[in-house]
Amino acid sequence: MSGTVRRVTIHLELDDGVALVTLDHGRGNTLDTDTCKELVIRLEEADAAGARSVVLTGSGDMFCAGVDLLALDEGGARYVGDFLPALSDAFLAVFGFPRPVVAAVNGHAIAGGMVLAAACDHRIAADGPGRIGVTELLVGVPFPLAALEIMRCTYGTTPLPSLIYSGATVTMADALPRGLVDEVVPGEDVLSRARELATRLGELPAEAFAHTKQQLRQPYHQRIAENRVSDDAQVERMWRSEPALAAVKAYVEKVLKH
């Protein structure tokens, strides 16, 4: 019996108390079921190793282009049932990490990529061609509840309708005054600046920081805990629907396979 050995898609490096977690999956650092599960594991490893803070980034010149639509198209409705819970778990692993997490947004942060950045405590973006935005509704699928609550926590409720309904993406320079990122620096400096900030935040008393972070995010964690089961069932039904899967296939054929 033979099988394909899947390569590591999330890298973890520990350096002087800072855990560098790097997405490295395909040309867009996209999120499929295994990569989502691997992200949870890497953060657990960082915590167990005593990391005082985390920097989350993407390989190459891309942060994260969101859901792996090729895997979704190939797997179809059966794939959705495993993928969506893993996706929410990955978002929540970042959002609920007890130590400081800094996003080094080194390029595009689209859809689930933007949610990952929102789940961090601070977002440092590279100046340049990278864009940020959430495009789910353009494909015809809703957010899982965890993703929406994470964005509500970070950005507030007021800007979400225009951001989500439009499906628009903006440059990092335009994202800064809108509060979608916290800093914009030259591309070559984004990782060093993220490490610098992560180191400083990691020097705060660990227990007090963790408790304060939990206090700030408690209402969102509570809403997710109370409503996730029922809402996820509705979200899964819509993601599994023929129109949604047809829209994904059309996008894959038009954009990703050319």
Catalytic residue among 38, 45, 74, 136: 136
DSSP 10-55: EEEEEETTEEEEEE--TTTT-B-HHHHHHHHHHHHHHHHTT-SEEE
136 catalytic, yes or no?
A: yes
Question: Which are the catalytic amino acids?
Answer: 136
